[in-house]
Each structure stands twice: as structure tokens, then as C-alpha cells.
Structure 1
């Protein structure tokens, strides 16, 4: 089977082996380099993915824009991992409020296995967050949250080459591009309109942090989601991101448009 067929079948190891052999035979083909970069990114092999981007940039000047964009996205993954490990504080888009700081502190408390206190603090933070009614692909909802309870009313984004947290209450609309290439299973392109009318182009990480260590093709390729109970009633996701509303569950790659009924904060950047 060729690399494309192996990928479709979910055999990432076989796909990588077949693709590596094709690149060895035809090292100057930029399309093969792009494919290889994407497979490595799906596997979470960030160092080798960066190496392929570097080679691609040297051999094909027309790819420099893509190289710069995805180099930044990969670099953001290291910060992202540290945030969920409770080691670093994310950039917050918008005027920081106490409940967002509480969610960051919850991650530190989880890392220290202070689970009961972390759950109490998380619950208080969720109570303080504003409700965010709107529509998802035309369907009305009264509230929306990430299914991962470490995030809840916060959306992870990569904007201007930086990893950040964007509270849903700071967002006016999200227009998410339909998946068109393998890399979209790692970073979903999005157009963001902020509550003050400003606009940004960036990515939403398609998969939950830590998915790259799962070793499961269905999770790595964002074909499914699984939940790990990290404390009673507290769930961390792996695989494709899921958005929850009072109307149901929504896989990120199936969502095209989110419009919020009201939001009034200016999306300025703040480091915790």
C-alpha cells in the first residue's frame, strides 16, 4: 500500500515508513516534504517536523509563508504542554479576570495532586464566568464550553504566532475553515472577530494537549475523542476537541460558524 492508503487506513507507522522511502528516492519533491512534515506533526514528532519545514523553506521559496506559520504553531506546542503541566502561564486575550487566573491556578494544583481544592476552585471559576449565548452553525445555544473541564469557558487559540487563551465572552464570532489537509487535524484554521470588532486569523488546536503521546491513530488523526477522569467529575480530553452546548456535543472539525449574542471586552494581550 502507498502512504496515502496507509494513512486512510489509520496506519501511521506504515504511512511514515512508506513516505520516508519516497522522500529518500525523490528528496527534491516539495509536495513529499509537505506530506512528511504533516505526518510528523500528527505524530507529535515536533523536532523532525521542524526539520522538514526547514528543508522545505530552503528548497522552495514559495513555501516560506507556510513554513513560518507552521514553525510558530509547532513552537507553541511546547508552551501549551507546559501550561497544562502547571509550569507556565498562558497569554490571555482580553482584560484578565480573576476566574481566568483561577483556572491557571487549578492546573498548578492538579500537578501538585491537590485535587479536592482544585475542583473547588474550578467550580467557583466556572460560576464567575459570563454565560455566552449564541448560535453554532445556525443552531441557538444558551451557553458553550469546551468539553475538557480544564478549559470550560476558555478557547485555546494560536494568534500572531502565539499560543493564548481566549475566553468565549471576549469573542464575537468564529469562522472555522473546513478541514482540507492533514495538518488541519492538528491546527484548525480560524477567522476570529473579537467583541470590539477587531479581527484575527489564526488556529484552534484541533486536538487536546498531550494527545501526541496517546499512540492511538484514531486520537492522533482527530477521528475520535476520549475522556480521562483526572478527579471526580473532572475530565481531560485526548483526540479531537469537543465543544459542549445546552443543545448537544459538537466535534470541532464539524463546526463552521460560531456567533455570540453579546461580548464587550477588548482583546488586548496579557501575560498572567
Structure 2
């Protein structure tokens, strides 16, 4: 079977072995190098993925823009992992409000296994967070949240080489592109219209942090989602990101548009 066929069946290791043989046989074929970069990224082998990116850039000048972009994206993903491990703090889009600061503190406690304390902070954060109604793929909602308790009403985004938390009241709308490349199962391209009138093109992390560490390759490929119950009605996600409203669950890969009814004149961009 080809590497693509192995991937279709969810066999990442066999796909990697087959693709490495193809690269060895055709070392100057840039398409194989880009494919290998994407597959290694799915597996969380960031250093090896960067090596293949650099080789692709050296083989074909037409790929340099993509190479430059995804170098930054990999750096953002590594920083994201540090954030969820409690070793970093996310940059917040717009002025950081108290409820977001509480979410960040709760995330650090969760990373330390202090679930009861983190739940207390998170509950307070959710009470303070402004409610944002809207539509998701034409379906109305009164509220929308990430199913992962660590995030709730913030949207993770990667924009211009920065990993950000975007509170929903900062967002007017999101248009999410249909996934077409293997890398899209990790970072899904999207267009953002902000409540201050600005617009950005960026990426949304499509899977929860460290999903590639599971023995189940379908989690790494964003084809399923599993949950870790922290014993306090809070669940930590692995695999494909899922948003939830009061009436339904929405796997990220299936969502194309979100529009919020919020109006936030104070949002002025990303502030450290």
C-alpha cells in the first residue's frame, strides 16, 4: 500500500515507513518532503518535521512562504504545549480581563493535578465571563464553549506567528476552511473578523494538546475524541477539538462558520 492508503486506514507508523522509503528513493522530490513534514507533525516529532520543512525550502523556492509560516506554527504549538503543561501563559487577544486571568491560573493548577482548586477558579471565571450568543453553521446558540474545561469560552488561535487566546466577545465571526491537507488535522486555516472591525487570517488548533502521545493514532489524526474525567465534572480532551452549545456538540473539523452577536468596542488587538 501507499503511504496515503496506510493513512486512510489510520496506520501512521506504516505510512511513515513507506514515505521514508519514497524519500530515500527520490530525495529531491519536494512533494515527498512536504508530506513527510506533515506526517511527522501529526506524530509530534517537531524537530524532524522542521528538518523536512527546511529541506523542502531548499529544494523549491515556491515553497518558501509555506515553510516560513509553518516554522512559526510549530514554534507556536510547542509554546501551546508549555502553556497546557503549566510552564507558560497564553497571550490574550485584547485587554486581559479578570475571568481570563482566572482561567490561566486554573489551567496551571490542572497541570499540577490540583483539580479541586482549579475547579473553584474555573467556576468563578465562567461566572464572570460575558455570555455570547450567535450562530454556528446557521444553528442558533445562547452560549458556546470548548468541551475541554481548561478553555471554556476562549478560542485558541495562531495568528502571525503567535499563539493566542481569543475571548469570544472579541470575535465577530470565524470562517473555517474545509480541511484539504494532512496538516489541517493539526491546524485548521480560518478567517477571523474581530469585534473591533479588524480581520486576520490564521489557524485554529484542531486537536487537543499532546494528542499524538496516545497509542491510538486516530486521536493524533483528529478522527476521534476521548476525555479524561478529572473527577470534578471537568473533562480534559484528547484528539479532535469539540465545541458545545446548550443543544449540541460540534466537532471542529465539521464546522464552517461561527458568528457571535457580541459587540466589543474595547478590543484593540493582542496585548501581552
Residue matched to 1:74: 74
Residue matched to 1:57: 57
**What aligned pairs does 1:71-150 form with structure 2 within 5 A after superposition?**
71-150=71-150
Residue matched to 1:243: 243
Residue matched to 1:2: 2
Residue matched to 1:192: 192
For each residue in 1:137-167, what CA deviation from the matched residue of structure 2 results, as whole angstroms up to 9, or x when unmatched?
A: 1111110000000000011100111101001
Q: Does 2:171 correspond to 1:162?
A: no
Which SS does the other structure have where 1:73 is aligned? helix
Structure-2-length-normalised TM-score: 0.97
Deviation at 1:267, TM superposition (A): 4.0
Residue matched to 2:36: 36
Which SS does the other structure have where 1:223 is aligned? coil
Which SS does the other structure have where 1:124 is aligned? helix
Residue matched to 2:216: 216
Which SS does the other structure have where 2:117 is aligned? helix
C-alpha distance in 1 between matches for 2:97 and 2:62: 42
Change in 2 beyond 3 A, CA 1:254/1:33: same
Deviation at 1:115, TM superposition (A): 2.2
For each residue in 1:192-237, what CA deviation from the matched residue of structure 2 results, as whole angstroms up to 9, or x when unmatched?
A: 0000110000000000011121131110110010111124111110
C-alpha distance in 2 between matches for 1:124 and 1:49: 40
Deviation at 1:110, TM superposition (A): 2.1
C-alpha distance in 2 between matches for 1:111 and 1:220: 21
Residue matched to 2:230: 230
Which SS does the other structure have where 2:230 is aligned? strand
For each residue in 1:37-73, what CA deviation from the matched residue of structure 2 results, as whole angstroms up to 9, or x when unmatched?
A: 1111111111100000000011100000100111111
CA RMSD of aligned residues (A): 1.0
Structure-1-length-normalised TM-score: 0.97
Structure 2: stretches of 5+ with no match in the other structure = none
Q: Does 2:266 correspond to 1:268?
A: no
State the number of aligned residues: 271
Residue matched to 2:20: 20
User: Contact 1:195–1:267 at 8 Å: present in 2 too?
Assistant: no
C-alpha distance in 2 between matches for 1:101 and 1:23: 46
Runs of 4+ in 1 over 6 A off after TM superposition: none
For each residue in 1:240-270, what CA deviation from the matched residue of structure 2 results, as whole angstroms up to 9, or x when unmatched?
A: 0000011200000100000111231414222
